Structure 1
Amino acid sequence: MSVYWSKTAPVKHSWSGEGRRSSEIQCLERIPLMKQMEHRVPLINSLELQLRFLSPQDIDQVKILCRSWFPIDYPDTWYQEITSNPRFYSLAATLQGRMIGLVVAETKELGHLAKEDRSILATCFKKGTKVGYILSLGVCEDFRKQGIASLLLENLISHLTSDTAYNSVKALYLHVLTTNSQAIAFYEHRGFVVHSFLPYYYAIKGKRKDGFTYVLYLNGGHPTWGALDYVKSCALLLCQLSPIRALTFLGRKLRLLWTGTVPKLRRVAESSSALFS
């Protein structure tokens, strides 16, 4: 016996008894098809679920979705850009032809970022280093917690890490309201780390709201390192070396340190002797 759920109460389905079967079929008919499907087969595994890129014909549909998902009013030019300009990675998830989710991202040069975001990468990276920026990621409320957002994000990350034209992208970042706890939990669960606090970053209905910058490092990208990070890096490197190579590596470093330090100490000693003589 299987159990199907409607919005109000569970409906137990049994194949014994014509009267019960008839009434239960009527109950199931009142449940939307997608609600029945999501409990029979995980939506993420449904053959009806497809991914495709946006086109200019999607503008009206994308407008409706974004206005229902986000508190920010985007100008019409924004919708025209993300549906036609190839510099945007605009991917939609559709189910039986209906758009139920989308992710929009673009790549930028580090030197072109806003001042508060330029420090997401260590200073050793040049201004021309590429980074990815997520403009929006959303899923229709009826289809959330079905893996759709994760699927869209994973496709974006795969595009930035496996495509040879984009594997120079060293970080993927986004901005999020500090009050959007669900989105924050979603990104943190997928490896994003908070980089900075942005006071009064958003203007929503005439009021200023705080935000966070979250970052996921890709393709060898990393933030500015502290002393502990260097220790961890050296320890990891030593673990990857064979014992003989590790000893050789340590011996070489100690020898360089010794040859660089002894002459300095000798010069200091000679200067001190000359001073007191």
Structure 2
Amino acid sequence: MTKTKLGIIGGSGLYDLEGLENMQRLRLESPFGEPSDELVFGTLDGQELVFLPRHGKGHRYSPTDINYRANIDALKRAGVTDILSISAVGSFREDLKPGDFVIVDQYVDRTFARDKSFFGPGLVAHVSFAHPTCDSLSDVVERALKQEGIPCHRGGTYLAMEGPQFSTIAESRMYRAWGCDVIGMSNMPEAKLAREAEICYCPVVMVTDYDSWHPDHGTVDVQEILKTLSANVDKGKRLVRTVAPLLAQAGDRHPCVKGCDHALDTAMMTAPAARDPQMLARLSAITARVLGGEEK
């Protein structure tokens, strides 16, 4: 059995965590470039944590400009086994109100200007992504949200848009017709890369607005979003403080029931003799479990 090391990816407004013991800040190198910021290591109520602000402190990176591959690769190199991803979204449903939290379990990816895979020429792999999030980690997160009395909804489809502009009314109505529940800009390709890295991934999204579709709420306004976001960030920090001891109390980490931690078992397509040594070296952290020393 291995120990759980929880990675926290903080979204808009969540740029730091307080109360960590033995805190240490490190900037890890990645062959995929610079992560968004330093990684913050520490322990919270007996649970090892690694925190990374997705947009960098001060919100320096737009969703399109985030180096998602470097972020996930750095978390993998830091020994992270599970990721709690926190971000802000708009809602397509009347009952998903500003201030509510949603534990997402499905995606429609409409992004088009981002690197979406660690793999490529010289080492091709196709991971299963039918169930893109981790049920086991989501169970713990749902329990923590209810324990904190934070309004939460289990399950929902996240429409990932490129941005940085918000939706037109026509787009917003179309995404609702598709059956999407929330809309955001930052969970893709983050979720796909976490699966390739064999890291369990649970996205918790904080509703700030009704996107553009709602006739009684007008268009999306950044100032109004920021007001709701401020209150949501406090809830997000409370969530982390409650999730940490629940994971610590669980003890040794069991294999993921959905196989998130073994996603590469049947994903490799390139024959060993055809694998590019430079590509193998670049993927040393991502493929270490399945390829062992082959990538050296």
The TM-score with structure 1 as length reference comes to 0.25
The TM-score with structure 2 as length reference comes to 0.24
Structure having greater relative contact order (Cα 8 Å, sep ≥ 6): 2
Which structure has the larger Rg?
1
